[in-house]
Structure 1
């Protein structure tokens, strides 16, 4: 039987076809506690010996996940950075509507048709395919979805970061990991923001920013970011998340990060409370240090652990975190006990992302290097369901006349392009979004219709790097990519035609915002909505974070 979701009647009513199910003899186990003293120095990912164990077997074999090793590229530590991109010459302050006439002018007009946007979006900021191909084989497989800004730490002090402006914060190094705290903020705060660096060496960083609302109730409303806490992180931060809200307490100081290990952090309660100032990005006070609480390894030998590519925190049961790894496994963690509850071999190759499905503590989906999206149910791990597996033919058709990158072009029909990231809808249990490596198309999948995409979102002229669903608006999501564009999509109310009448399964973006740099990550601002001038979005690109009003 196919994996079925908890609290989702549609799963029970629409069982998945047997021919789409893959028989897997995954072992559910109760590993020993895999945490160890945080005070010991963490080994770099480079110390993980790719030859210490045999290569991972296929999923139909019964093996302990710990016997698996990550692929041959794992001995590499991180990708070389790309040159710092130049700011895009056209960077309007707000979103641009797509509802304008097709005859309006291209770049400077606030209204762009889909065809005009496609031509205008390809600017000098886009990285060349040669640059992308040089980063295609990083150990985490994240080279094409992390920012390609200069990752060298800046020697310039915070006080001289004069490029920052309203609703903007600049860090001294390239950023990738990003999360806006979803707990209700107090006073004039818009909530806390956590950011993490992606540097090629073993010295990375986490920063906690406090956001204050400036000119609330005015057309000039903006956000101000102030650094209140920080910590060092030995490996690039592949994902970080604040603890999700719960009815048991009023606020949180708990943060989780993935990289070389799963790490838990606490924000000290005496963190400096900063008032808005006239200088954005300036150090207003000495930040406190995040308190490390635990370091959890997905291996019995922490000195030889496979790096983690992502994590997700269960919204219904905040005691559960799931992680994905390049050693082909996914691990469910019991946070109060600091132990691994279940570890399973999820894919044939590296797993790049993992998400719990909405309204479920048991059902999750994952994607990875093998090019598939798979769904699992913790109550029945004997089987998994392949939801989607794109082909190179699909990618060529989706990219149209746009040349495929060398990475994608070398794929064959028997080796689908890797799927880099996915996002599950918080409103529709059956819907999720994903994109392939070097692809400018986001695909919407329905788990009740495995094997094909329900919708295709076309509008980017460069590779997509991030996709996030709106937490408050059903069917609304946003994407960011190498074309320096942040696109907004409405799957319910937007027109289904694109450029003169392709299939109804294709959707147009409804609006766009031009970022000065290639967009690496996105996050909705959870508590700034209509009474504050509309929805707000956090954009992470280059060394900066932007607060964008939709």
Structure 2
């Protein structure tokens, strides 16, 4: 259980402000509300994305896209912006639009200098299809609808997707039809498709330019290489047969490590791709199911998790795990079960959480 990555001393401190040290919380110390901002949506929220590009008018951290979770066809995506100086969240009615079905994921173009950007943000969404939207200063225009269905009547819903940071023309999608599809979004064509899992694929994450991983209801984590389309490598399988794996996060600061969560489990499983099958750590301090995970964007040793216990926990992975497991370094308690979290890449001292009809920004 050794973590060999280096620790950057310039990484923002993760034990101050809203996320108080765990022993302080347990001693009835309440989170300090002056270090957070809350947005109330008219709809329940699930999908969430933070832009990596600053707005042109002021030095706001990022635009934040929020997707509704309404059990009907017509849903909404609202884009807001946040001013860290005044701790205010500004709405933009002209940047709200209808979305078919609840978006399963939202993501802004991770490369602000990409030729796709054209001085605007590009937002991608998944649901029935993969859709691209151009987000300007005062309007949103649909760019493309990418559909790989062989029939016009039916499509297999997309569970998630990930945008390739190294080669931003590529987006990989995961689907309930057991496939992972790699799109060339500049040409709006399928580059390739992989069928390796036995059941629904629930999440996908890029590591390198041509390497991605996926997790499935078949309980496996598989790594794929676009240069070898005939093979995939299983690096982890659920301890219980066919126990689904729901989410996957690749550590972009140290590609040897990734994290995954199991259905109805309080564990976050940390994997080292050099040591298949056996986790290097299991984070087990949540009291009920974990729903979301995110690595710190500028530290290889910090990860945040959130779940049905209404808690968001920040962990610092030790160089060597102790015999009694790992305790989180700080925690935040929300009012409801936390469905989603995002750790801002452009402003890494802010974390966004979605629960019920609220989005809350925490300074860490």
Fold shared by both chains (TM-score > 0.5): yes
Distance 1:451 1:318, change over 3 A: same
For residues 361-418 of structure 1, give each alpha carbon's deviation from its aligned partner in whole angstroms, at most 9, with x where no partner exists.
Answer: 11100001101100111100111111100123xxxxxxxxxxxxxxxxxxxxxx3310
CA contact (8 A) 1:182 1:245 kept: yes
The equivalent residue for 1:308 is 158
Corresponding residue pairs, total: 342
The equivalent residue for 1:347 is 197
The equivalent residue for 1:332 is 182
Given candidates 474, 478, 483, the residue that maps to 2:300 is: 474
Given candidates 215, 239, 249, the residue that maps to 2:105 is: 239
Determine the C-alpha separation between the residues in 1 that align with 2:72 and 2:135: 25
Matching of residue 295 in structure 1 with residue 145 in structure 2 = yes
Offset of 1:248 from its aligned partner?
A: 4.6
CA contact (8 A) 1:329 1:343 kept: yes
Matching of residue 96 in structure 1 with residue 20 in structure 2 = yes
Q: How does 1:401-416 map to 2 (within 5 A)?
A: 415-416=241-242
Offset of 1:185 from its aligned partner?
A: 4.2
Matching of residue 109 in structure 1 with residue 33 in structure 2 = no
Matching of residue 381 in structure 1 with residue 229 in structure 2 = yes
CA contact (8 A) 2:179 2:193 kept: yes
The equivalent residue for 1:548 is 362
Determine the C-alpha separation between the residues in 2 that align with 1:541 and 1:96: 20
The equivalent residue for 1:59 is none
Larger gyration radius, structure 1 or structure 2: 1
CA contact (8 A) 2:297 2:344 kept: no
Determine the C-alpha separation between the residues in 2 that align with 1:452 and 1:302: 43
Given candidates 71, 76, 80, the residue that maps to 1:200 is: 71
CA contact (8 A) 2:179 2:195 kept: yes
The equivalent residue for 2:91 is 226
Determine the C-alpha separation between the residues in 1 that align with 2:26 and 2:327: 17
Larger RCO: 1 or 2 (CA < 8 Å, sep 6+): 1
For residues 48-98 of structure 1, give each alpha carbon's deviation from its aligned partner in whole angstroms, at most 9, with x where no partner exists.
Answer: xxxxxxxxxxxxxxxxxxxxxxxxxxxxxxxxxxxxxxxxxxxxx821202
Offset of 1:108 from its aligned partner?
A: 1.6
For residues 402-438 of structure 1, give each alpha carbon's deviation from its aligned partner in whole angstroms, at most 9, with x where no partner exists.
Answer: xxxxxxxxxxxxx331000010001111210001000
For residues 119-174 of structure 1, give each alpha carbon's deviation from its aligned partner in whole angstroms, at most 9, with x where no partner exists.
Answer: xxxxxxxxxxxxxxxxxxxxxxxxxxxxxxxxxxxxxxxxxxxxxx9611011111
Determine the C-alpha separation between the residues in 1 that align with 2:70 and 2:362: 26
Offset of 1:226 from its aligned partner?
A: 2.0
TM-score by length of 2: 0.88
SS in 1 for 2:120: coil
SS in 2 for 1:214: coil
Given candidates 25, 49, 59, the residue that maps to 1:179 is: 49
Determine the C-alpha separation between the residues in 2 that align with 1:416 and 1:304: 27
Determine the C-alpha separation between the residues in 1 that align with 2:158 and 2:347: 32
Determine the C-alpha separation between the residues in 1 that align with 2:97 and 2:30: 41
Given candidates 83, 96, 112, the residue that maps to 1:212 is: 83
- Say which is worse superposed, 517-526 or 322-331, in terms of deviation: 517-526
Determine the C-alpha separation between the residues in 2 that align with 1:225 and 1:350: 38
CA contact (8 A) 1:94 1:513 kept: yes
Given candidates 187, 191, 194, the residue that maps to 2:62 is: 191
Distance 1:223 1:526, change over 3 A: farther
Larger relative strand fraction: 2
Distance 1:167 1:347, change over 3 A: same
The equivalent residue for 2:345 is 526
Distance 1:252 1:387, change over 3 A: farther
For residues 257-301 of structure 1, give each alpha carbon's deviation from its aligned partner in whole angstroms, at most 9, with x where no partner exists.
Answer: 0000001111133x1xxxxxxxxxxxxxxxx4x311111112122
Where in structure 1 are there 5+ consecutive unaligned residues? 1-92, 112-164, 216-221, 272-287, 393-414, 530-534
For residues 502-545 of structure 1, give each alpha carbon's deviation from its aligned partner in whole angstroms, at most 9, with x where no partner exists.
Answer: 2xxx321100011111111111123335xxxxx11111111111
The equivalent residue for 1:461 is 287
Offset of 1:224 from its aligned partner?
A: 2.2
For residues 167-194 of structure 1, give each alpha carbon's deviation from its aligned partner in whole angstroms, at most 9, with x where no partner exists.
Answer: 1101111111011111244423121001
Q: How does 1:443-454 map to 2 (within 5 A)?
A: 443-454=269-280
CA contact (8 A) 2:52 2:112 kept: no
Determine the C-alpha separation between the residues in 1 that align with 2:162 and 2:127: 13
Given candidates 318, 324, 328, the residue that maps to 1:509 is: 328
Runs of 4 or more off by more than 4 Å in structure 1?
248-251
Distance 1:430 1:328, change over 3 A: same
SS in 2 for 1:496: coil
What is the root-mean-square deviation of aligned Cα atoms in Å? 2.2
For residues 5-41 of structure 1, give each alpha carbon's deviation from its aligned partner in whole angstroms, at most 9, with x where no partner exists.
Answer: xxxxxxxxxxxxxxxxxxxxxxxxxxxxxxxxxxxxx
Larger relative helix fraction: 1
SS in 1 for 2:62: strand
